[in-house]
Amino acid sequence: MEGDRRAMSHDEGTLFQAVAGPDGRTRVSSGGPWEERYGYARAIVAGDACFVAGTTDAGPDGAARHPAAADQVDAVLGVIRSALDAVGFALGDVVRTRMFVVDPADIPAVAETHGRWFREIRPAATLVQVAGLIDRTLRVEIEVEARRR
């Protein structure tokens, strides 16, 4: 990515780098296994909004770091919090979450864990069951949108 480095944040040893681009948008990279290969940013800021890409608990090899769905949600929301922090947003700025769950048996654990993180914030939220994610060990993927208050 080209441009000025604006912020860095850390999550479980991951360095999040925010770079302002010539188009006026700031992109966040976590160095995840698919960002560069598939041509997307972990998050992008456009105006007063920050859009965080679908985020999973994938480690460097692409497989889940935690087996349980609730633990994956905690890890994912930690990554999302760090991506938001890298560009001056906070979880309190989140206005929408989308959760993608593979196994319907995981829905209560995913929803309850989401509730622990967002109970006071109460963003608009969607939870859908999907046929699968990019790696069979991944149980949940979450994306968020945030707006500056």
Predicted confidence (pLDDT) at residue 33 exceeds the cutoff of 80: no
Structural domain span for residue 15: 4-147
* pLDDT value for 12: 53
pTM for this structure? 0.89
* pLDDT value for 13: 54
What integer is the mean pLDDT of 38-42? 92
| CA–CA distance, 138 with 67 (Å, rounded to integer) | 8
What integer is the mean pLDDT of 94-123? 98
Query: Among 53, 58, 52, 51, which Cα is nearest to 72's?
Result: 58
Predicted confidence (pLDDT) at residue 116 exceeds the cutoff of 70: yes
3-class secondary-structure state, position 103: coil
- In a 10 Å sphere around its CB, with 0-12 CB exposed, 13-18 middle and 19+ buried, how is residue 96 labelled? middle
Domain of residue 124, CATH code: 3.30.1330.40
Per the structure, the count of domains in the chain is 1
